[in-house]
């Protein structure tokens, strides 16, 4: 369980985070969404004990991260936004170093390291220096480094970001498994939809301030589908046609029809093609979530 209470952090005069209050319960995944520079990493770094809060507190399983740092850190795993490790190190010695800060019996740590590395598919690369690891492998190593102490609370800073679809799925599964094990997870992202399928709640931060906490139900409603269309030869007439299927908007090159009414993509496609429009993309999308998000944090 993680409790953030009245957390503020300023850099000189600049307030990166102001008066943030959040609670992440055991077995809960809390998403943390905000645009770049909103204060997500700052919040997470203060939660991890890397930087000191200007005011307010963070407690990990009821241990204050500043005043009871050792106890609090024992129960916390942190995955940084960018993997940053001793480049010349090999994974096993480095994990042994990290693992040495926790209470492991003889041989237990070696076993744990092997298990985790196998689980994350990098055991075969155990003799390779970290600097020769690919981005994906580095990210996996970061996850292992966070899990080495077997903590009950996790901070993931943009961990899904920059992964290929396969990687996203894998990490998502890991996070969901952590939840199943009753761990509390705090996962930030600058893309709301990335959090949608994994988070129980999403806290939205803008300019260092919490502006809303979306619950699962709200997410489901917001996240319901609309239809997204791309036309290679659009003109003014398109909006008229599409409006007959529902409320239509144009974002960039894409048309979007909000949900409701008769929304069969095949029917819409047929209608457009008959009017000599060339449709190169049409599909159900969760655009509204992102739209909603962008609207909110603008």
Ligand X SMILES: Nc1ncnc2c1ncn2[C@@H]1O[C@H](COP(=O)(O)OP(=O)(O)O)[C@@H](O)[C@H]1O
| Coil, helix or strand at residue 232 | coil
Contact 215, 201 (CB under 8 A): yes
CA pair distance 61, 52, nearest whole angstrom: 19
- Least separation in angstroms between residue 13's CB and ligand X is 10
**Cα–Cα distance list, 258 to 34, 223, 227, 298 (Å):** 24, 11, 7, 20
Alpha carbon of residue 294 to chain centroid = 16
- Least separation in angstroms between residue 90's CB and ligand X is 30
Binders in 27-46 for ligand X, by CB under 6 A: 34, 36-42
| Coil, helix or strand at residue 29 | strand
Q: Per-residue contact track with another protein, 135 to 154, x per CB under 8 A?
A: ----------x---x-----
Contact 193, 199 (CB under 8 A): no
Q: Per-residue contact track with another protein, 247 to 266, x per CB under 8 A?
A: --------------------
**Cα–Cα distance list, 106 to 90, 99, 146, 147, 202 (Å):** 21, 12, 21, 19, 41
Q: Is the CB of 85 or the CB of 123 nearer to another protein?
A: 85
Q: Per-residue contact track with ligand X, 11 to 30, x per CB under 6 A?
A: x--x-x--------------
Q: Decide which of another protein, ligand X, Mg ion, none touches 220; Cβ closer than 5 to 8 Å per partner kind.
A: none
- Which listed residue (3, 18, 41, 286) binds Mg ion by CB under 5 A? 41
Could you list the residues that contact ligand X (CB under 6 A)?
A: 11, 14, 16, 34, 36-42
Could you list the residues that contact another protein (CB under 8 A)?
A: 45, 48-52, 69-71, 73-74, 76-78, 80, 84-86, 97-98, 100-102, 145, 149
């Amino acid at each position: 369980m993680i409790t953030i209470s009245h957390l503020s952090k300023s850099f000189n005069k600049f307030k990166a985070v102001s008066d943030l209050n959040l609670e992440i319960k055991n077995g809960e995944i809390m998403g943390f969404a905000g645009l770049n520079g909103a204060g997500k990493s700052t919040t997470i770094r203060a939660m991890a004990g890397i930087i000191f809060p200007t005011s307010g507190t963070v407690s990990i399983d009821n241990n204050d991260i500043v005043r009871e740092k050792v106890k609090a850190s024992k129960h916390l795993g942190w995955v940084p936004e960018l993997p940053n490790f001793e480049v010349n190190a090999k994974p096993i010695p480095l994990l042994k170093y990290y693992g040495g800060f926790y209470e492991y019996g003889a041989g237990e740590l070696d076993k744990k390291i092997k298990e985790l590395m196998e689980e994350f598919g990098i055991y075969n690369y155990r003799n390779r220096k970290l600097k020769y690891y690919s981005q994906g492998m580095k990210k996996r190593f970061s996850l292992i480094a966070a899990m080495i102490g077997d903590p009950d609370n996790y901070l993931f800073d943009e961990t899904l970001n920059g992964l290929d679809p396969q990687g996203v799925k894998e990490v998502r599964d890991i996070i969901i498994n952590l939840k199943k094990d009753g761990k509390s997870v705090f996962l930030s992202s600058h893309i709301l939809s990335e959090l949608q399928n994994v988070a129980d709640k999403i806290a939205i931060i803008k300019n260092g301030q919490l502006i809303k906490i979306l619950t699962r139900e709200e997410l489901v409603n917001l996240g319901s589908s609309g239809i997204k269309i791309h036309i290679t030869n659009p003109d003014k007439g398109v909006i008229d046609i599409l409006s007959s299927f529902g409320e239509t908007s144009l974002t960039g090159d894409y048309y979007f029809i909000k949900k409701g009414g008769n929304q069969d993509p095949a029917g819409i496609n047929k209608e457009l093609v008959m009017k000599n429009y060339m449709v190169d993309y049409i599909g159900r999308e969760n655009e509204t979530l992102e739209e909603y998000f962008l609207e909110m944090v603008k």
